[in-house]
């Protein structure tokens, strides 16, 4: 198991694996998102309280969930990189970061577009919104730190430390913000009471969840391939790979 | 099918603007991400080929020079 | 044991001497805090009740910002004149060196601020209870600022354009401290017990104290390449 796992420390192996995985993830993700979204938009029944605005849930919940999972994935990659000194792990880390940041942005934006008709305001300093915003800052910090380094190996290590500092902080931030919120705001906005969600509403959500997960994985993998090529650009195996494709 | 007509579908029970705004921005952000990633791939491929071609030209020029 | 003591002692003595030779740099963050605190009544109006309500937050935010300004000093000069490299090469335990340097930074940049706090509290019309709570939260919280800041500085010290990135990296991780500190002071203003908030801040302090020196010494090694 370990031997099998550790072979992907080599960029060449990792590149091949990425190619295979991308083919498995990419089209299914698009298909699932298409099915889930159309189902959610057209066929799922209306919410008795929120009418049709609740359909935003079909992109809001998946993106919010994935924004956090992607951060954890990024931190795990950083840990692997720091502990076993894999260069490919840093490449994975920096490939995931922008994808996670986009997911966080989507979660924030769709939340705002949902909040406006429901709560009457685009933005409130609600605990979840605030922690999500801070999550976006953490992502941007990692990306900015990595891109500030000319030596990308060094940048990967530095950004990795920052990602780990962030992941230790996420629970602290989350609870502090939640606590702060209950202290300062009182119970102004109670989460709308959720009746157990009807199955015909739930299915499209689950499909979209899986679709988004595969999408995040696929795009991260694509970006990781780019990263491997960028870092190994002068190696012979890259050259032979790309110039053979030409013939 | 929850909607009687296309216009009812677009209206989303009065929430049309917000629903379509959310879905539109999501779609836009995802497309941008994918496009940026594939442009990056293309750019890298081009760079590799250009470097190769330049080296070939340099070799050829060196040969002629001799 | 005695050798690690002598390392801490030596590093601290050296850093303190260096800091006190640059008195201007020492005083700037303090002046900055004073300026920020002066700006707020001008910006939001001089109403004493309003100032009392937002005062603790202002002082804490000013402390964070001034801390960010002086943070770079912690490793920048040592990095550029090669002292960090010498320490790494000499095989000194960098965890101890980092801990000593962090403590020194806290002594030099935050302790004067804590001493200045009663004056700022008067400016912002804080009650005596609030002032005491503010000083206690600063006493527990600012070492955490120094330690987390040290990680950020150690990561960015080799960069030419490190300054702005530093705030982007550090401000998000400072947020819990700000929340608990201001909430403790708010409880104090209502004469409620604020020990729970202090306990959480103390827990954060201990956790950071355990992890930060290790992270800093590793980050310094990374930056040195």
pLDDT number for residue A245: 59
Q: How many domains does chain A have?
A: 1
Per-residue DSSP letter, A60: H
Q: Are the C-beta atoms of residues C175 and C115 closer than 8 Å to each other?
A: no
- The model's pLDDT over C132-152, given as tens digits with 9 standing for 90+, comes to 999 999 999 999 999 999 999
Quick check: A243 contacting C, CB < 8 Å?
no
Average pLDDT taken over every residue of chain A: 84
In a domain, A172, yes or no: yes
Which of A62, A54, A47 lies closest to A115, judged by CA? A54
In a domain, A152, yes or no: yes
In a domain, A19, yes or no: no
* C161 beta partners: none
CB contact under 8 A, A141 and C155: no
Q: At what angle do helices A152-185 and C162-189 cross, to 10 degrees?
A: 20
pLDDT number for residue C74: 83
* pLDDT value at A192 more than 50: no
Q: What is the mean pLDDT of residues C65-85?
A: 85
Give the highest mean pLDDT range of A18-22, A104-108, A236-240, B18-22: A104-108
Owning domain of residue A114: 24-41+55-186+203-232
A242 chain-B contacts, CB cut-off 8 A: 45, 48-49
Quick check: A167 contacting C, CB < 8 Å?
no
Give the highest mean pLDDT range of A119-133, A172-186, A209-223, C87-101: A209-223
Q: What is the mean pLDDT of residues A210-224?
A: 94
* pLDDT value at A189 more than 60: no
Look up the ipTM and state it.
0.84
CB contact under 8 A, C169 and A162: yes
Q: What is the mean pLDDT of residues A48-77?
A: 87
Cα gap C195→A154, rounded to integer Å: 43
Chain A with chain C: Cβ pairs closer than 8 A? 76
Quick check: A91 contacting C, CB < 8 Å?
no
Nearest residue of A to residue B14 by CA position? A52
User: In the complex, which subunits touch B with 3 or more CB pairs below 8 angstroms?
Assistant: A
pLDDT number for residue A197: 65
Quick check: B56 contacting A, CB < 8 Å?
no
Quick check: A170 contacting C, CB < 8 Å?
no
* pLDDT value at B31 more than 90: yes
* pLDDT value at C43 more than 70: yes
* pLDDT value at C197 more than 70: yes
Lowest-confidence region among A126-135, A202-211, C159-168: C159-168
B with A: touching (≥3 Cβ pairs within 8 Å):
yes
Report how far apart the first and last C-alpha atoms of chain B are (Å, whole number): 77
Residue A15's pLDDT band, with cuts at 50, 70 and 90, is: confident
CB contact under 8 A, B30 and A225: no
DSSP secondary structure, chain B, as one string = ---SSHHHHHHGGGTHHHHHHHHHHHHHHHHHHHHHHHHHHHHHHHHHHHHHHHHHHHHHHHHHH-
- The model's pLDDT over A78-117, given as tens digits with 9 standing for 90+, comes to 999 988 888 899 999 999 999 999 999 999 999 888 888 8
A113 chain-B contacts, CB cut-off 8 A: 18-19, 21-22, 25
A with C: touching (≥3 Cβ pairs within 8 Å):
yes
C225 chain-A contacts, CB cut-off 8 A: 151, 154
């Amino acid at each position: 198991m370990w031997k099998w796992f550790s072979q992907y420390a080599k960029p060449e192996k990792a590149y091949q694996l990425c190619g295979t995985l991308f083919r498995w993830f990419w089209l299914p993700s698009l298909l699932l998102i298409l099915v889930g979204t159309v189902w959610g938009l057209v066929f799922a029944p209306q919410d008795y309280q929120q009418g049709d605005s609740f359909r935003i849930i079909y992109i809001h919940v998946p993106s919010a969930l994935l924004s956090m999972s992607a951060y954890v994935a990024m931190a795990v990659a950083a840990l692997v990189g720091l502990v076993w000194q894999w260069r490919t792990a840093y490449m994975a880390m920096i490939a995931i970061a922008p994808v996670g940041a986009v997911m966080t942005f989507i979660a924030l934006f769709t939340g705002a577009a949902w909040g406006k008709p429901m709560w009457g305001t685009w933005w409130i300093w609600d605990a979840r919104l605030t922690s999500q915003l801070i999550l976006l800052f953490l992502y941007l910090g990692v990306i900015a730190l990595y891109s500030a380094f000319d030596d990308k190996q060094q940048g990967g290590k530095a950004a990795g430390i920052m990602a780990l500092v962030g992941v230790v902080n996420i629970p602290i931030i989350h609870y502090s913000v939640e606590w702060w919120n209950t202290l300062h705001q009182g119970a102004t906005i109670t989460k709308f009471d959720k009746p157990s969600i009807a199955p015909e509403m739930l299915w499209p959500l689950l499909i979209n969840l899986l679709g988004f997960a595969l999408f995040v994985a696929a795009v991260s993998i694509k970006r990781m391939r780019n990263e491997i090529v960028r870092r190994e650009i002068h190696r012979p195996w890259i050259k032979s790979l790309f110039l053979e494709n030409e013939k | 099918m929850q909607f009687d007509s296309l216009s009812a579908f677009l209206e989303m029970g009065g929430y049309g603007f917000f629903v379509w705004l959310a879905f539109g921005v999501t779609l836009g952000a995802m497309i941008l991400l994918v496009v940026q990633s594939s442009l990056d791939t293309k750019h890298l491929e081009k760079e590799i080929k250009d470097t190769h071609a330049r080296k070939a030209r340099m070799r050829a020029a060196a040969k002629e020079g001799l | 044991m005695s050798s690690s003591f002598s390392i801490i002692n030596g590093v601290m003595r050296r850093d303190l001497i260096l800091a006190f030779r640059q008195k201007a740099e020492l005083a700037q963050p303090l002046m900055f805090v004073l300026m920020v605190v002066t700006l707020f009544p001008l910006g939001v109006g001089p109403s004493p009740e309003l100032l009392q309500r937002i005062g603790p937050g202002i002082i804490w935010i000013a402390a964070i910002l001034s801390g960010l300004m002086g943070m770079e000093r912690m490793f920048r000069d040592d990095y550029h004149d090669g002292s960090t490299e010498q320490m790494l090469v000499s095989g000194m335990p960098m965890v101890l060196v980092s801990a000593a340097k962090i403590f020194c930074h806290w002594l030099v940049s935050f302790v004067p601020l804590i001493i200045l706090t009663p004056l700022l509290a008067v400016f912002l019309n804080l009650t005596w209870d609030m002032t005491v709570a503010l000083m206690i939260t600063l006493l527990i919280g600012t070492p955490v600022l120094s330690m987390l800041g040290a990680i950020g500085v150690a990561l960015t010290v080799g960069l030419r354009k490190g300054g702005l990135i530093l705030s982007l990296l550090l401000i998000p991780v400072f947020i819990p401290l700000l929340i608990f500190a201001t909430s403790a002071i708010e409880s104090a203003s209502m004469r409620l017990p604020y020990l729970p908030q202090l306990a959480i801040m103390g827990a954060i302090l201990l956790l950071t104290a355990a992890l930060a020196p290790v992270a800093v010494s590793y980050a310094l090694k990374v930056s040195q390449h």
